[in-house]
Structure formats: C-alpha cells, structure tokens
Amino acid sequence: MSSAEHGWELLVEISEQDGLVIALVDPYEAETNAWEESDTPVDVARLAGSENLDEATLTHMGFVTRPKWVNWVAPLQSSEEEYLSALSGTERRNIRLGRRFIQEEKLRVDVRVGITEPLIDEFLVLYDAQVAGMPRGKNIAREWRARLLAASSEYACVGVYSGAAMVAGSLWWIRHEESLLQLRFSAASANARLSRVMRATYVKAFQFAREAGLTFASLGNDPSLFGHIVQPGLFNFKSRLGFTVIPSQVFGPNLAGEFADRFLRLRSLSDPSLVVTWGRHRGASPSWPAVTAGPGHDLILLSGTPDMELGSTYRTDGFRESRLLTVPE
C-alpha cells in the first residue's frame, strides 16, 4: 500500500549535483524505498545521520559508507631508483617515454620555490583550457589564486617549457610539519598529456622533495567516488604511480565526514565507477603518518554488467579487499 493510500505523503529531499540525482532519506524512508514515489528518477539514495548507525545495519539496508574525501600518499623512498623499482614495468616505461619526449622536443623543466603572479597566471592559462575540456570540470585553481599567492613561500612549481611558454605545470604544497610534498593542481597541453610528460614532472617533484628532506609525497585529495566528478582514469593514473588512499580527514576536520549511499542506477555515472569505502577506518581517528601502515580502505566497482574481469583493470593491491556491485544502467 502506498503512502498516498495511507493519507500521508513522504517528503523526500531531492537534489541534483552535476547531473547526479540524489534523494536524501532518513532511516524510515530508506527502509520503505520512499524515493520510488518521486516523480524524478533517482540515481543515489543518501542516508542522513548515517554516523549514528553501525556498519552491519547500514549493510542490511543496502547502503555503502565512504569517506567524503581521500588523499593519495606514498613514501618517497631513499632514492629515485628505489621508488621506481616498486612500479610496474609499464609505468617505468611511461616515465622514460615522458622524459624522452622532453629531451627530443628540447623542452626545459624548472622547479621554482615560491609562486609569483606571472607564474600562477601562466599556469592558469593551461589549467583553464584543461578544465574547459572536462564534462564536469571545476576551475578550483582559479578560485584559489589569491590563497596560493598569500602563501607563496609554502609552494613549489614544476614547469615544463617550450621556449618561454609553459606546456605543463604542477603546483605543490611543501608541508614540513607532516614531512610531505602535496600536489595541489596540475595541468598540461593536450600534446604534453599524450606524451606522458606529467609522469616525468611528478618524478622530478619527488626528487625535489627528497632533497628538501621530506619523507612522503601526496597526489592530493579526491572525492571517494570515481565516475562522477573525477573519473576512473584518474584512479588508475595515481595508483599506478604507487600511491594508495587514506582518509583525507587526517589532514584537517574540513575534509572529514562520510556519505552512506545506495547506488540505484548508473545513468549519470561512468560504467564502471569506483567507490572507496571506509574499510577499517570507519569510526576510527587515524593519525598521520601511522595511517599509512598497511591497506585500510576497501574498494567497490559499480557496473551494469556482472563482469568479474573488471577487477583486473584497476590496481587494487592498496586495498584490503575489492568487490563488484552490479547496478542497473
């Protein structure tokens, strides 16, 4: 019997975030699948107040819990050779190809500590163009311009130049207290991206970090859902460079919090999509750098087809476990 037949109405809050239709529900609405009575087809049901429920209850209700943000980290190792030796042969080859392109095209790689107005504006030309080509790109670097300049001495830029023009660049936050070099923003021309230049520049940044006495590198924060704002390709790129995820909340309360989601269909998500779930970190208070000891998160692959071979497409050895969840398209 529907809610209308009972003489009352469920007022489920429906919102749209970059094409993804989300129904915010309470536990009763979740148990009764209240979103099914909405005139708007819902992609994700999101449970409010999930922090107050245990994992077993949420799993029974069909919800997946995940941190809002994850951060990609890796130890720098004592040398470049040691770092590279842990990567796959394919990834080492990609880095060599990027370096060869830089050499053959007579490009110049500069590392500069401190961000100036001309430098940030030069970088933003690249970043603007890159974001413009993304289906759901957000120009966060331009929003951060004033903030970056205000903390200029805390940042380094690795730039690749063809003559006087920057063709690839990355901005890195030097975090001495955490002994960490963290990527803030990166961008490259289409040709530089295709030629694997960014991999070579990241390795250059890692060497700068070692020489500065830092212990870890970070490839920055991402939403824990890959397939909406950020895509599975980014997951592959970062994981293949030897980076694993930790909860971003270890670096500040502004990055804390969780989502408890029930994925109903993939209409506005890529197929497959990837979800980094809490794993052993839910309800814990992980600290830096202890949080980097061993895999902590789990990984869910969302797909419209029950293809068990999908797991081999993604590097999952940085996770406790991974599994496939079939979702209607």
φ, ψ (nearest 5 deg) of residue 233: -60, -35
Domains of the chain: 3-70+250-326 (no CATH), 77-214 (3.40.630.30)
Task: With a cut of 70, say whether residue 7 has pLDDT above it.
Answer: no
pLDDT band at residue 136, thresholds of 50, 70 and 90? Answer: confident
310: how many CB neighbours lie within 10 A of its CB?
A: 17
Pairing label, strands 108-113, 69-75: unpaired
For residues 128-152, average pLDDT: 93
pLDDT recorded at residue 3: 42
What pLDDT, in 10s, does the model give residues 245-263?
999 999 999 999 999 999 9
pLDDT reported for residue 10: 53
With 50 as the cut, is the pLDDT of residue 144 above it? yes
Structure confidence at residue 25 as a pLDDT band (50, 70, 90) = very high
- pLDDT at residue 203 is higher than 60: yes
> Using CA atoms, how far apart are residues 324 and 101, in angstroms rounded to an integer?
38
pLDDT in tens, 96-116: 999 999 999 999 999 999 999
Task: With cut-offs at 50, 70 and 90, classify the pLDDT of residue 75.
Answer: very high
Residue 1 above 70 pLDDT?
A: no
Q: What is the pTM of this model?
A: 0.94
Partners of 46 in beta bridges: 24, 261
Question: Average of pLDDT values for 47-65?
Answer: 96
How sure is the predictor about 306, in pLDDT bands with cuts at 50, 70 and 90? Answer: confident
- Neighbouring C-beta atoms of residue 70, cutoff 10 Å: 24
